Amino acid sequence: MASSDEITHVFRWDLDKTYLHTNFDTVLDLLRTAVESPERKRTVPGAAALMREIRASGRVRVTIVSGSPEQMRRSVEAKLRLDGVQWDELVLKPNLRNILKGRFRAVREQVGYKLPALLDARTRAPAKACETLFGDDAEADALVYSLYADVLGGRIGEDTLQAVLEKAGAYSDAIALVRKLVAGLDRTDPVRRIFIHLDRKSDPTFFRRYGPRVVPITNYFQAALVLVSDHTIPAEAGLRHAASLVIEHDFDVPDLVAVARDVVGRGHVSAEALRAVIDCARSVSEPFPLVSFRREQLAKGLESCIPYVCAPPEDVAVDYLAAFADDRARWEAAKLRAKRDAQS
């Protein structure tokens, strides 16, 4: 493990619906998840493999900031160990303390919890370290992560930040903590990429309001390709990740090619990155955990994606108050759909 002054990249992961398949739509769901054994918890396909590749990629730190209750710590840690994942910091939500203090709104509210948690975690990161963040579309991750990135980049004024936190229902002490943390942090603009796992099957175009830094993904192979394109992980890691999906999760190579074409067509992966993975697939020596004919099948499939490479989405200045209102409407609609699906 690299020492703090050697860290060049920090990866921050959400847990529920980003790394683990969980359902927190009702209080009963929350209780059921809290008592579930580590062996019964299900990992989102490809998430653990990508986290392992990230850890092996160099001088990195992995921080998990989750809305799961603090009482789940032992179970969550046991599950991560079962998956062979190493992490440096695990931040969970103090829901019991919130309930005992009568702060019932804080049990479900995310912006007033995650933003100060992220800012506080940043105080323990090297000033020059870049960041990549992973979240999902179940609640406010795209908004919170983008807000965090723009705060650190010096693009958000105090009045806007205050208004967004109040609109989200954050308690006054959480708002005060955010203001204190922001005042003490350097404006280094470290956030390079934000991935949003589309657990709710949201329309990827919804997230264009957050600019090209935010990449909605339906599959973690898409994230692997983007990270290769960003020069964050090597092409060999992208190929190993594809192999893990085929071998561990029974994905077919055409499935991987289809999701690759999707993320390429949205402008998030370069032709250079595709060619690097293709060359790796054709040059890697045996033994490799993907047999030769499948590596060639993947190489040909990725070659077919190159004509779909296009420019990334346009950069935008985020209207956070409007984005919060739109996000809330999307969350409520998704919850209604999930309830109807459960009843049908």
Stated pTM of the model: 0.92
Of all helices (H) and strands (E), which one includes residue 112? helix 111-122
What pLDDT band is residue 2 in, cutting at 50, 70 and 90?
low
Looking at the structure, tell me whether residues 50 and 126 fall in a common domain.
yes
| pLDDT tops 90 at residue 334 | no
- Domain residues for the domain of 103 are 4-218+314-343
Looking at the structure, tell me whether residues 77 and 158 fall in a common domain.
yes
Looking at the structure, tell me whether residues 18 and 109 fall in a common domain.
yes
How is residue 19 written in tokens? 């790394």
Looking at the structure, tell me whether residues 26 and 104 fall in a common domain.
yes
The per-residue pLDDT for 237 is 95
Looking at the structure, tell me whether residues 69 and 207 fall in a common domain.
yes
Query: pLDDT (tens digit, 9 = 90+) per residue, 260-292?
Result: 999 999 999 999 999 999 999 999 876 677 788
Looking at the structure, tell me whether residues 179 and 42 fall in a common domain.
yes
At how many degrees (to 10) do helices 111-122 and 141-152 cross?
A: 40
The per-residue pLDDT for 286 is 62
Looking at the structure, tell me whether residues 153 and 234 fall in a common domain.
no
SS3 readout for the chain: CCCHHHCCEEEEECCECCCEECCCCCHHHHHHHHHCCHHHCEECCCHHHHHHHHHHCCCEEEEEEEEEEHHHHHHHHHHHHHCCCCCCEEEEECHHHHHHCCCCHHHHCCHHHHHHHHHHHHCCCCCCCEEEEEEECCCCHHHHHHHHHHHHCCCCCHHHHHHHHHHHCCCHHHHHHHHHHHHHCCCCCCEEEEEEECCCCCCHHHHHHHCCCEEEECCHHHHHHHHHHCCCCCHHHHHHHHHHHHHHHCCCHHHHHHHHHHHHHCCCCCHHHHHHHHHHHHHCCCCCCCCHHHHHHHHHHHHHHHHHCCCCCCCCCCCHHHHHHHHHHHHHHHHHHHHHHHHC
Looking at the structure, tell me whether residues 246 and 299 fall in a common domain.
yes
Q: Domain tally for the chain?
A: 2
Looking at the structure, tell me whether residues 133 and 271 fall in a common domain.
no
Mean pLDDT of 68-84: 90
The per-residue pLDDT for 98 is 54
What pLDDT band is residue 56 in, cutting at 50, 70 and 90?
very high
Looking at the structure, tell me whether residues 232 and 333 fall in a common domain.
no
Percent of residues, the chain, with pLDDT higher than 70: 88
What pLDDT band is residue 33 in, cutting at 50, 70 and 90?
low
The per-residue pLDDT for 332 is 79
Burial of 327-338, coded b for 16+ CB within 10 Å and e otherwise, reads: beebbeebeeee
Looking at the structure, tell me whether residues 329 and 201 fall in a common domain.
yes
The per-residue pLDDT for 23 is 63
The CATH number linked to 112 is 3.40.50.1000
Looking at the structure, tell me whether residues 200 and 264 fall in a common domain.
no
